Structure formats: structure tokens, C-alpha cells
């Protein structure tokens, strides 16, 4: 075998190895999902392993809304003694903050266990003075999304609205400034981009997906 053939075979071998390496990188990228991380994100809390923020899949009915914090308001209204309007700073700076590890389970088959930090909805309802005969709490998102849950569930289960996930301020894609952490219920109950909380007696109310055939309870099995 002459020198020219040896060189050609060596070049061919290098090409084959390089192609295999690149192919493996592409396959890994396609099958492993996003590999980036958010600065300050934690992946373990109190000995419990957490999923990544990147593991969440976008679920939005009308794209990702942009919320301007300088004009943002969260309104608590309906069957309350005093309609209350909060700014973002009002909520995160003037209310007791809680942390809880909760798993979001989507009906489409994926799930993520994460550490959520936020304030309890019942604290906001009590400040507004909700009527004792009320039965339902209806939630409204900036994107037009709606859902509702029994008042007893919201109060008795200490359900909260989160402004942080895995120690990171809630990303825009994940519902900034607030997402409901509807523990024990499917992901379509975890409303994002929250703008209004209404206390109601309308037990016939059906939210966006519930009015399209989803269970109004949304309970996990």
C-alpha cells in the first residue's frame, strides 16, 4: 500500500469517527431535552431531588403574555367585604412566605417535582374578608385562561400562589409573576400569569379546559 492510499484511509477514518461523534451529540440533544440551568436554581431540597425548571413544557392558550410590573395588579374580588388590589411588591414583601415541594402532573403525560415559594391564597382572601357562605374561587390569567376550585380546598389545603420555583424568580414562561400551585390536581388547574381571584357561589362555573370537557375537579388519582 503506497503512502497516498495510507493518507486517504487515515482521512476517511477521521471523517467516520467525527461523523459518529457529531451524530451522537445530535442524538443526545434530541433525546435528553434542555440541558441549561437557571442561575441560582437548586436541584435538591431537604434531601429531596428536584426536577429542573427546564423540564417544564410550555402550556399556554394564547402565547406567553408580557406583564409590566410597574402597572401589574392582582385583584381579589367577588363575595368579599373589601375588594383588594395588590401590587407584586405588596404580595412578596408584606405577606408570610411559604416553601413546599409539590409535583406538577400534566394530563399529557409529563411531570416535574419542584420547590415552590409563595403566599397562601387564604391569607389574601382573609384580608379581603371573604363571605363565609362562598363556595368557589375563580382564578383569571393575563392570557385569558380561567379555572376554579372549591373554597374549602383553597383554604383547608393551604394552597398558594408561587413567585419562585427552585429558588429562582418564576420565569416568564412559567407564569411570572404568579402561578397557582394546585397541589393534588392536574396541571390545567395550575393557572399561570395570575391577575384576578374571584370569590363566588357560582358552582356551575367552568374554566377554559373544563368547559372543553376536562374534569372540573381535576383531582389526581
Query: Are residue 8 and residue 85 in the same domain, yes or no?
Result: no
> Looking at residue 37, what is its pLDDT?
76
Q: Region 197-213: what's the mean pLDDT?
A: 98
Residue 22 has pLDDT above 50, yes or no: no
Range of the domain at 206: 44-212
Supply the pTM of this predicted model: 0.83
The enclosing domain of 111 has a CATH number of 3.90.420.10
Q: Region 189-199: what's the mean pLDDT?
A: 98
> Looking at residue 21, what is its pLDDT?
34
Inside any domain, residue 200:
yes
Query: Are residue 21 and residue 63 in the same domain, yes or no?
Result: no
Inside any domain, residue 217:
no
Residue 191 has pLDDT above 50, yes or no: yes
| Percent of the chain whose pLDDT exceeds 70 | 84
Query: Are residue 48 and residue 155 in the same domain, yes or no?
Result: yes
Query: Are residue 14 and residue 65 in the same domain, yes or no?
Result: no
Query: Are residue 145 and residue 57 in the same domain, yes or no?
Result: yes
Query: Are residue 26 and residue 50 in the same domain, yes or no?
Result: no
Chain segment 60-98, per-residue pLDDT in tens: 999 999 999 999 999 999 999 999 999 999 999 999 999
| Percent of the chain whose pLDDT exceeds 90 | 81
Inside any domain, residue 220:
no
Residue 8 has pLDDT above 70, yes or no: no
Residue 1's pLDDT band, with cuts at 50, 70 and 90, is low
> Looking at residue 173, what is its pLDDT?
94
Residue 176's pLDDT band, with cuts at 50, 70 and 90, is very high
HEC per residue, the chain: CCHHHHHHHHHHHHHHHHHHHHHHHHHHHHHHCCCCCCCCCCCEECCEECCCHHHCCCCCCCCCCCCCCCCCCEEEEECECCCEEECHHHHHHCCCCEEEEEEEECCCCCEEEEEEEEEEHHHHHHHHCECCCCCEEEEEECCCCEEEEEHHHHHHCCCEEEEEECCEECCHHHCCCCEEECCCECHHHCCCCEEEEEEECCCCCCCCCHHHCCCCCCECC
- Count Cβ atoms below 10 Å from residue 150 Cβ, excluding itself: 16
Residue 103 has pLDDT above 90, yes or no: yes
Q: Region 203-220: what's the mean pLDDT?
A: 98
Query: Are residue 4 and residue 76 in the same domain, yes or no?
Result: no
Cell numbers for 4: 497516498
Decide: 100 and 160 in contact? Cβ < 8 Å.
yes
Phi, psi of 57 (to 5 degrees): -105, 140
Q: Region 111-132: what's the mean pLDDT?
A: 98
Query: Are residue 156 and residue 98 in the same domain, yes or no?
Result: yes
Inside any domain, residue 38:
no
Query: Are residue 135 and residue 111 in the same domain, yes or no?
Result: yes
Which residue in 213, 192, 189, 196 sits closest to 62, CA to CA?
192
- 1 vs 106: which has the higher pLDDT: 106
Inside any domain, residue 37:
no
Query: Are residue 183 and residue 83 in the same domain, yes or no?
Result: yes
Query: Are residue 64 and residue 148 in the same domain, yes or no?
Result: yes
Inside any domain, residue 218:
no
Which residue in 54, 32, 59 sits closest to 43, CA to CA?
54
Cell numbers for 205: 362555573
How far apart CA 212 and CA 148 sit, in angstroms, is: 14
Residue 52 has pLDDT above 70, yes or no: yes
List the single range of 28-37, 97-106, 154-163 with lowest mean pLDDT. Answer: 28-37
List the single range of 3-7, 68-72, 155-159, 182-186 with lowest mean pLDDT. Answer: 3-7
> Looking at residue 87, what is its pLDDT?
98
Query: Are residue 89 and residue 9 in the same domain, yes or no?
Result: no
Structural domains counted in the chain: 2
Amino acid at each position: 500500500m503506497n503512502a497516498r492510499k495510507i493518507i486517504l484511509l487515515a482521512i476517511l477514518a477521521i471523517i467516520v469517527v467525527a461523523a459518529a461523534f457529531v451524530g451522537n451529540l445530535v442524538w443526545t440533544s434530541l433525546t435528553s431535552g434542555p440541558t441549561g440551568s437557571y442561575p441560582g436554581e437548586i436541584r435538591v431540597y431537604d434531601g429531596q431531588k428536584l426536577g429542573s425548571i427546564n423540564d417544564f413544557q410550555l402550556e399556554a392558550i394564547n402565547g406567553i403574555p408580557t406583564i409590566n410590573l410597574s402597572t401589574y395588579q392582582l385583584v381579589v374580588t367577588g363575595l368579599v367585604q373589601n375588594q383588594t388590589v395588590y401590587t407584586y411588591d405588596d404580595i412578596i414583601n408584606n405577606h408570610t412566605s411559604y416553601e413546599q415541594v409539590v409535583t406538577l402532573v400534566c394530563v399529557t403525560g409529563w411531570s416535574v417535582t419542584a420547590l415552590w415559594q409563595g403566599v397562601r391564597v387564604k391569607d389574601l382572601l382573609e384580608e379581603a374578608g371573604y363571605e363565609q357562605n362562598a363556595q368557589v374561587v375563580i382564578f383569571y390569567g393575563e392570557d385569558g385562561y380561567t379555572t376554579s376550585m372549591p373554597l374549602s380546598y383553597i383554604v383547608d389545603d393551604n394552597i398558594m400562589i408561587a413567585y419562585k420555583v427552585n429558588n429562582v424568580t418564576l420565569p416568564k414562561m412559567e407564569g411570572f409573576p404568579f402561578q397557582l400551585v394546585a397541589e393534588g390536581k392536574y396541571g390545567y388547574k395550575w393557572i399561570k400569569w395570575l391577575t384576578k381571584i374571584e370569590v363566588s357561589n357560582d358552582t356551575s362555573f367552568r374554566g377554559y379546559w373544563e368547559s372543553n370537557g376536562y374534569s372540573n375537579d381535576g383531582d389526581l388519582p
